[in-house]
Chains A and B, each alone.
Chain A
Amino acid sequence: MNSSEISYKKPLLETPFHKRTSENCYSNNWYRWAGYKVVNEYSSTELEYTAVRNTAGVFDITPMHKYEIKGEDAKQFINKLITKDISNIQSNQIAYGIWCNEDGMVIDDGTIFCFNENHFRIFCAERNLNWFSDTATGFKVTIEDISTSIAALAFQGPLSCKILNLLKVNNIENLKPFHFDNYNIENHNVTISRTGFSGDLGYEIWCDPSQAIDVWDSLFKFNRDYKVLAAGMSALEMVRIEAGFIQPNVDFMSAEQALRPNRMRNPYELGLGWLVNLEKKYFTGKQALIRHKENGIEKKLVGLDVEGDKPAVGSVLYDNSKKNKAKEIGIVTAAMWSPVLKSNIAIGFVNKEHYKLGSNVYAEIYHPEELDYRKIWAECKVVKRQFFNNPRRNAVPAFK
C-alpha cells in the first residue's frame, strides 16, 4: 500500500515485510509502532526469545524513524543536536547519542550513521523532524524524513554472523561494532550495521523496500540446520531489558512529550552521563546540563536484582525491609524473569540515597495467582543496568 493513501478502515500501515510477517503471525498478536502494524508475538514469545539467545531472531524494525542529514554543515548540526562530541567520527562509523531540550531534558536517543562529513543518517524511536528542523536553523543542512523509503530488519543472536557467512556476505565477520558498510545478500545490495538491541552479537540490515521479501527469505535459508525464527516485539522487549537498554516513554518520558515538567529526565538521571561531553563548545542544553551536573541528581534509573522469581512489574520501591516502616523511594519501569540469566531483573528509578551499586531497596510485588494477588515484599539490590553482556557482542572477528 502506498503510504500516502489514507484509508479510515486501515489506520495502520503495513511494512514491506508484511506479507511474510503476517504469514508467520499465527497468534495474530500485533503491536502498534509509529503508525505501523508489527508483530508482537508470532506464536510463542518464549521460543522467539530463545532463538535470539540461542540461534538468531529476525525483527522487523522498519517503523523506526529515519532522517537523512545532508549538507556542508551536517556534522556541525549533529554536534549541536546531540550531547556527545562526534568531531572525530569516521565514514562508516556509527555514534549512539541522545539529544536534550534547552533545559537539559532528554528528548530521544538514536544511532547516527556517518556516510561522510556531509552526509549522516539518524535512526530513532520517536518522530523528531520538528526538533531537528528547529535545531538546524542557521546551518547549511537539509533534513529529510526518509522513514518509508528504507526497509529494516534486526538480525540478532549468536549465529547471526555465521548465517550471513553462509549467505556469502563477504567479510561480514570483520565488521566492527558500531560500524556499517554496503554488502550483498544473494544479489541484493544492502547496508548492514553491527548494531541492535539484544546485547549480543547482531546486525541491522537496511534495504530498499522492493527487496524486502527476498532479504527476509535469505535469512531463513539455512533453517534446516539452524533454527532462525521471526521474533516479535514481546521478545524484543525481553532482550532489551536484559541488555539494559532504555526506551523513551517506557522508562522515561520524552521531554517533547511529557505533559508534566517534573516527569522529564536529564541524562544523569537516566545513567547516560557518559554520553554528555560538557567540554564541547556548544550544544543544545549545555548550560542546563552544567547546572544539572553541579546540583547532582535526585533520582537515577538503575538496574535491580529482585529477590525471588516473581517479576516486579509496575512495583513501587521502598526503603525498608519492614513494610510498616517503609518510605516510598522509587518505581520500577520494566521488569521480567530473565530466562537466560535465571534472575529476576528490573529497571527502575530510585532516589539519591539508594542509587549506589549494592544498595538495598524493597519492591512490593502484586503477583496474580488463581484470581488473587500474592503480595510480596522483595529485597532488591541495585546493580548495573546491563544485566546481559555477552563477550560475543564486541568480538572482532565476529563469532561464527
Chain B
Amino acid sequence: MNKTNYDVAIIGGGHNGLTTACYLAKAGLKVVIVERHEYVGGAAVSRELHPGWTYSNCSYVCSLLRPEIFRDLELAKHGLQIIPYEGSASMLDDGRFYAHYQDHDLTYRSIAQFSKKDAEAYDRFGKDVMRQCKIIKPLLKMTPPDPTSFAPKDIMGLFEFAKYFAAKDELGGLGEKEIYDTIRFWTMSVRDYLEEYFESDIVKVHLAGSAIIGTALGPYSPGSAYVLLHHYMGEVDGTVGAWGYARGGMGSITKAMASSFKANNGEIIAGSPVTKILIKNNKSYGLVLENGDEIYANKIVSNLDVKRTFLKVVEEKELPGDFYKAVKNFKIRGSSGKLNIALDDLPIWKSIPVGDPAGTGDLHITQSIEEMEGAYDDWKDGKWSEFPYVDMCIPSINDPTMAPQGKHYMSVFVQYVPYNLANGGWTEEKRLEFGKHVMGRIGSYSKNFNDIINHAEIRTPKEIEAEVGLTEGNIFQGELTMDQLMFNRPVPGYAQYKTPIKNLYMCGSSTHPGGGVMGAPGANAAREILKDLNKKISTHYI
C-alpha cells in the first residue's frame, strides 16, 4: 500500500486542478495530482479518436484563459500557442451570410447589409459590453468576500469590491447610470438586452449565441445576458472578447500546464480514480484510490464539480445537513451536445465563399431569437432541439496540426440537448439519430458537407458526463446564474474555495468565477491555500 505523504493532493487534472497544482508547486510545495484517466486535461483535451485527426473533443476554443496565468506558468515555453480568430458568421436561409471580421470597416459593411442602424449600434454595444468587462475583470481574480461576515478580510474585500465598481483608475469612475446598467446586465435576458440596440433578427441572434452556450437558459430567460458577458470577458492579446484556437487543440493548454507542473517537481498519478476522501474529526487527510492505495496529504483540493465532490467522494455523514442540501440543490443541468467530425475536404458553404475569413471562425445557422427560444422549448420538453443552435468551427483551416493535409476537423457544439431524454431516455440509436439530425441541419447550408464526412464522434450530455466527469455534462460545472455566482458560488458561505471539511478545498469551475477554460478558479484557490499555509509567492496573478 502506497503511503506517500504530500503537502497537497489534487483530485482531477483538469485545467483548474492543473493551475492550482502549478502555483502550489511553484511555491515549493510537494504536490500530487490524482487523475482518473491515463491523460490529464479534463474538458480541455486533444484526442486522436480517428487516425490522423486531432479532436478538441470537449472545449474547442480559447479566450478566457487569463494571460497572467499563461505568463506565470510559462505555457509558451511548455508548448502552448493561441491562434486568433479571423472572423465569424451566421448563414441565412436566403443564401446570404452575416459576418464579423477583424477589420472594423469590413464588419460595419457586413452588418450594414442588414441594417445601417445596427452597424452603428454594434459599436455602441461593443463599447458598453467592454465597459462591463472592464468592471468584471478585476472581480475574476478576487476571492468573493462574504457579505455576512464581519471578518476584516471580508470587510476589506467588500470595500475592494465596491471600489472596482467605482473603477476609478481604469474607467475614470462610473456614474450612477453605469451601476444601474451593470445590475441590469447581470439580471436581464439577452433578448431584452439586444432589443435595446438592434433591429435586425440576424444581428441579434448572432450575438445572442454567446448567452446560451452551455447554459440551460433560453434567450428570453432572465440572467442570460450575464452568460454573454461571461463569454466576452476573455481576450486575445488585449482585444477583449476575442477568441482563438489553441494550436494542437485544447489539450495543448493542459499539456503545457502539466509540463510546467512537472518542471516544478509536481507529480501526476494517472489512471487512478479517487473513490473516497479520508476524513477524521471533520478534517480531511488523504485519498483512497480505486486500486485500494491511499495517499496522504495535509491539504486536499477537489477539481471535481461540487456535486461530484460532495455526493460521490465525500460521505454524506461527514457533511452538515444544510450544506449537503445546498449541494443537492445546486443547478448543474446538462443542455449541450458535441459533434467532432473528420472531413475529407473543406466544406463548401452555399453562402460563404472559400477563403473568406468569415468562414474560419465560429459559424452559426440559427435565423432568429425566436428560433433559438424554440430550440430551448424543445429542451424543456426533454427533446433535442429540432432547430438546434450550433457553434461550429473548423480549426484545421488555421491550425495545420489538426488534420492530414487537405482534410479538416470540424467541431460542432450543439445547444440544446437534454440530459434526460423524454420517452425512454437515451439509447445508442437515439444518440446516433441525434448526431444525424444535427449533421443534416448543417448539411442543408453546404454544397458538399454530406459527402465529405469521414468520421464523427457524437456526444450527448451523458457521454460528456461519463468521460469528463462533469455532472449532467454541464460544461460550466454549474449554471452561471446570479443565484450561483460570486459569494453564492457554489454554496452561500462556502465561496472562498473552502468547504465544511477542514483542509479540503475546491478549485473547479463550480467555484467563483465559474466555467470556461479560464484558470481563474484554480489560481484563486491556490492563493487561498497559500494564505492558509502562510506561504508567499510573487507572480503576475497572485
Interface residues of A (CB under 8 A from B): 44, 46-47, 50, 53-55, 158-159, 224-227, 307, 309, 337, 339-343, 388
Contacts and interface: CB of A to CB of B under 8 A. Distances in A.
B238 A54 contact: no
A343 B71 CA distance: 6
6 contacts: A54-B83, A54-B247, A226-B405, A341-B71, A342-B71, A388-B76
A159 B400 contact: yes
Interface residues of B, number: 24
B81 A53 contact: yes
A53 B540 CA distance: 25
A50 B84 contact: yes
Contact of B540 (A46, A159, A307, A339): A307
Contacts of B399: 54
Contacts of A388: 76
Contacts of A343: 71, 76
A340 B397 CA distance: 19
B398 A54 contact: yes
A54 B76 CA distance: 13
Nearest to B77: A341
Given A307-B540, A340-B76, A50 B83 contact: yes
Contact of A225 (B86, B102, B103, B405): B405
B81 A54 contact: yes
Contact of B75 (A46, A227, A309, A342): A342
Contacts of B102: 44, 46-47
B126 to A, nearest CB: 15
Given A337-B238, A342-B76, A343-B71, 8 more contacts: A46-B102, A47-B102, A224-B406, A227-B397, A339-B84, A339-B236, A342-B82, A342-B237
B84 A341 contact: no
A47 B247 CA distance: 15
B249 interface: no
A224 B84 CA distance: 19
Interface string B70-98: 11000110000111101000000000000
Given A53-B81, A337-B237, A226 B400 contact: yes
B405 to A, nearest CB: 5
A340 B81 contact: yes
Interface string B457-491: 00000000000000000000000000000000000
A307 B539 CA distance: 10
A225 B396 CA distance: 9
A341 B102 CA distance: 21
Nearest to B65: A342
B476 to A, nearest CB: 24
Nearest to B538: A379
A47 B237 CA distance: 13
B70 A342 contact: yes
B400 A339 contact: no
With a 10 A CB-CB cut-off, give which of B67, B75, B400 has the most chain A CB atoms: B400
Contacts of A50: 83-84
Contacts of B540: 307
Contacts of A227: 397-398
A199 to B, nearest CB: 12
A50 B247 CA distance: 11
A49 to B, nearest CB: 10
A23 B247 CA distance: 30
A53 B405 CA distance: 19
A47 B102 CA distance: 10
A227 B238 CA distance: 24
Contacts of A225: 400, 405-406
Nearest to B80: A342
B412 to A, nearest CB: 22
A309 B81 CA distance: 18
A44 B83 CA distance: 14
Contact of A44 (B67, B103, B346): B103
Contacts of A224: 346, 406
